[in-house]
Amino acid sequence: MSPGGHCWKLKTRGRYYTPGTFAKYVVSSANYVTPIPEKLESPEAAPMLCAGLTSYSALRKCGAKSGEWVVISGAGGGLGHLAIQIAARGMAYRVIGIDHGSKETLVKDCGAEDFIDVTKFDDTSIAEEVKRITEGNGAAAVIVCAGSYAAYGQALPMLQFGGTVVCVGMPDGEMKPISNAFPINIATQHAHIVGSSIGSQKEATEVLGLAARGLVKTHYRLEKLEALEKTFQEMAESKLEGRV
């Protein structure tokens, strides 16, 4: 364990390292079990303890104040569509969603005030569009839910002075640095770059509370276990259109 109580040798269950995700039952210490509110059915609660918790924890770290602009990059995905709802309805942020144009309706239905179609802008003009929407100020925070190096490269220029980029999405393939995270850019903007993964048990309880109050709803689809391979294939081919 690190001095802050974080385990550097954590092994994630499921398809990453350790079997067990699809077991019907699991035995755990009561200290590590999060109570599910009675108002929430299991299909509604389960995504909140993964994507919902991850999004909520990232937003808690972003430093924005109520009424300030927050950009969600990858807004129409599993993380992004929950991040918008939490930000707009649970934290009173003004939200700009960025994703492919096919996700605009979903993103706005989730509570985004504005939407930017990522396919219609290059790295420079997309930041200019954020500045236009925010009346020249830029966003207080950019939450990068997209697993894309390009999204990370676009994020810093979107910030207002003293703003924060929160790194959540994990791109596949060869590791690359953030393309424009030069010391002079970070220093002169007083920018912050923060990492966030999953969240605490306290945050899990809080985000389940938001869901139980009807402020956050997951777009999901139920499938039988026999359809697992087909569902993963659809996810790989991006055919689920924002559903998780």
* Cross-strand bridge partners of residue 22: none
Q: How far apart are CA 173 and CA 123, in angstroms?
A: 21
Domain ranges within the chain, ordered by starting residue: 38-236
Q: How far apart are CA 69 and CA 37, in angstroms?
A: 31
Per-residue pLDDT in tens (0 to 9) along the chain, 244 residues: 555 556 677 666 555 566 666 777 888 888 888 999 999 999 999 999 999 999 999 999 999 999 999 999 999 999 999 999 999 999 999 999 999 999 999 999 999 999 999 999 998 999 999 999 999 999 999 999 999 999 999 999 999 999 999 999 998 888 888 888 889 989 999 999 999 988 999 999 999 999 999 999 998 888 888 898 888 888 777 654 433 3
What fold, for 38-236?
A: Rossmann fold (3.40.50)
Q: How far apart are CA 134 and CA 68, in angstroms?
A: 9
